[in-house]
Amino acid sequence: MELIDVLTILGIIMAVMGVVVAFAVLVQIVRQFLTRRPKTVRITPPKKETKEKTIMTKEKGEGVTFNDIFMFMIAVPLVLLWVGFAGFVIHSGLNKPEVLANIEAYTTLIAILGGPALLIIKDALDVWKQEQAEKTAFYKTKAQAVIDYNDATQKQAQSIETKAQEQEHKMESKK
């Protein structure tokens, strides 16, 4: 099996994956469209607040965006194709001398695919770093709130104890 045949098969597989992802996105869009209910005004009595925590799975109004479609249709297959082709060239270069004879053409193709793929990977890592920074800031704020709460609780307990002792001294001095 020649290298061009393998590349053709790899391209067909990527195209099929793209069609499957596009179909999944289309099904999700249609499902959201069909499950929408017309907005009606309902007057309901105010609910009593409970101390139970509710977990929200999705934000209100969140749906499939152009960026989601772009990532699943173009970015993910491109990165997979780049990594797969680079691995295939390395594997073939170790086993077949004719691949080493044309290595410049293969490295050029890897570089052409690698440019956009690396930008996509960099953006994904930037988003991940931002999420991590937000988590870190949240935990710092939470830790400071716990420290402040413990400090206030301790001061309040000391204040109560001081006032209780003062009251006790007043009662003893009246006797």
Residue 124 within a domain: yes
> Closest Cα to residue 104, out of 87, 89, 84?
89
**What local confidence, expressed as pLDDT, does residue 138 receive?**
92
Banded pLDDT at 56 (limits 50, 70, 90): very low
Q: Is residue 18, in this structure, part of any structural domain at all?
A: yes
Q: HEC states along 82-102?
A: HHHHHHHHHHHHHHCHHHHHC
Determine, yes or no, domain membership for 52. Answer: no
Domain tally, the chain: 1
Buried b (16+ CB within 10 A) or exposed e, 75-93: bbbbbebbeebbebbeebb
For the stretch 91-128, pLDDT in tens is 888 888 887 788 888 888 888 878 888 888 888 788 88
What is the Cα–Cα distance from 36 to 38, expressed in whole angstroms? 7
Cα 119 to Cα 127: distance, rounded to the nearest angstrom: 12
Residue 57 located in a structural domain:
no
Which domain covers residue 158, as residue numbers? 3-34+66-174
Q: What is the pLDDT of residues 136-168, one digit of tens each?
A: 999 999 999 999 999 999 999 999 999 999 999
Q: For 22-50, what is the mean pLDDT? A: 69
Do 116 and 78 touch, CB atoms closer than 8 A? yes
Higher pLDDT, 34 or 173: 173
Residue 30, domain member (yes or no): yes
Cα gap 109→114, rounded to integer Å:
8
Q: In the block, which residue shows the tokens 């400090």?
A: 151
